[in-house]
Amino acid sequence: MTKLEGAALTAALAQVPAWMFDAQRHAIRRALRLADFNAAFGLMTRVALEAERRNHHPEWSNVYDRVDIVLTTHDAGGLTERDIALARFIDAAAVALGARDA
């Protein structure tokens, strides 16, 4: 995987507008709030299964109804298409579970 830069980075970020770009880490982050702990854990379970299938795992934390997620590809030194694809999966799962931005 190649680190996204320049026009490729701009185009990739446009695909995931709910995510914030962290230039210092060359990563994207999103904080989600769900109905309760069970819904938050359900989102994390869906993402964990997909992340394992893709062999690409997020950095994340959970406190009650909130899930904070950071995506970057450590081997590439920053954001790659793998991160964008996983972010799109997370966005779809979040919508299905009624998540909103925290």
> Mean pLDDT over residues 34-39, rounded?
97
Separation between Cα atoms, residue 38 and residue 36, nearest integer Å: 6
What the chain holds in terms of domains, given with CATH numbers, is 6-101 (3.30.1360.20)
pLDDT at 22: 97
Return the structure tokens found at 14.
């446009």
Separation between Cα atoms, residue 54 and residue 57, nearest integer Å: 8
pLDDT at 28: 98
What does pTM read for this prediction? 0.96
The yes-or-no verdict on residue 57 having pLDDT over 90 is: yes
**Tens digit of pLDDT for each residue in 13-25?**
999 999 999 999 9
Separation between Cα atoms, residue 94 and residue 8, nearest integer Å: 25
The count of C-alpha atoms lying within 13 angstroms of the C-alpha of 11, restricted to the half-sphere facing its C-beta, is 7
